[in-house]
């Protein structure tokens, strides 16, 4: 788990098991000035979401052990985390996953590979 703290900005929780994707998104968050916490598995992500109550969760679907969709179910069932916006980030075909994610309560979907500007727009639309 990696953390960056900047008091001016709300915190974002990044849940991503691929190290290259994790480095890309955290570098983007650093450039945008956001504080963040990261997790590579669903269970630590659930713990961090409950503990930190981030302003936004950027969530990869293809996590080891438990899927990102399982994590969404847990987050939306928990009174303390049910209102946190979630952006699904995945390389899986957008139409099928997006349907499932919307039913579970996700706010947005971002298909890999994505551009810095696309990530920035999604974050800004949900936080600001």
Residue 16 domain flag:
yes
Q: What is the signed CA dihedral for 102, 104, 108, 113, rounded to 10 degrees?
A: -100
Q: What is the signed CA dihedral for 86, 41, 93, 118, rounded to 10 degrees?
A: 50
Strand pairing category for 11-15 and 3-4: unpaired
Number of domains in the chain: 1
Q: How far apart are CA 71 and CA 122, in angstroms?
A: 20
Residue 66 domain flag:
no
Average pLDDT over residues 66-71: 92
- Reported as a pLDDT band with limits 50, 70 and 90, residue 128 is confident
Confidence at residue 42, expressed as pLDDT on a 0 to 100 scale: 97
Confidence at residue 7, expressed as pLDDT on a 0 to 100 scale: 53
Domain of residue 23 covers: 1-29+46-54+73-82+104-119
Confidence at residue 117, expressed as pLDDT on a 0 to 100 scale: 97
Instruction: Give yes or no for residue 51 having a pLDDT over 70.
Output: yes
- Reported as a pLDDT band with limits 50, 70 and 90, residue 81 is very high
CA nearest to 55, candidates 24, 3, 9: 9
Residue 109 domain flag:
yes
Instruction: Give yes or no for residue 120 having a pLDDT over 70.
Output: yes
Residues 21 and 112 sit within 8 Å (Cβ to Cβ): yes
Q: 116 φ, ψ to 5°?
A: -50, -45
Q: What is the pTM of this model?
A: 0.90
- What tens digit of pLDDT does each residue of 24-44 get? 999 999 999 999 999 999 999
Residue 65 domain flag:
no
Residue 3 domain flag:
yes
- What tens digit of pLDDT does each residue of 82-106 get? 999 999 998 876 677 777 778 888 9
């Amino acid at each position: 788990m990696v953390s960056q703290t900047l008091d001016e900005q709300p915190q974002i929780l990044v849940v991503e098991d691929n190290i290259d994707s994790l480095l890309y998104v955290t570098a983007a968050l650093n450039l945008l000035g956001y504080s963040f916490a990261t997790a590579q598995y669903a269970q630590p992500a659930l713990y961090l979401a409950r503990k930190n109550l981030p302003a936004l969760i950027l969530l990869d679907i293809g996590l080891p052990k438990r899927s990102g969709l399982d994590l969404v179910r847990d987050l939306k069932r928990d009174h303390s985390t049910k209102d946190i916006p979630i952006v699904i980030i995945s390389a899986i075909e957008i139409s099928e996953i997006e349907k499932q994610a919307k039913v579970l309560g996700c706010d947005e979907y971002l298909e890999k590979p994505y551009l810095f500007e696309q990530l920035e727009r999604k974050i800004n639309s949900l936080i600001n």
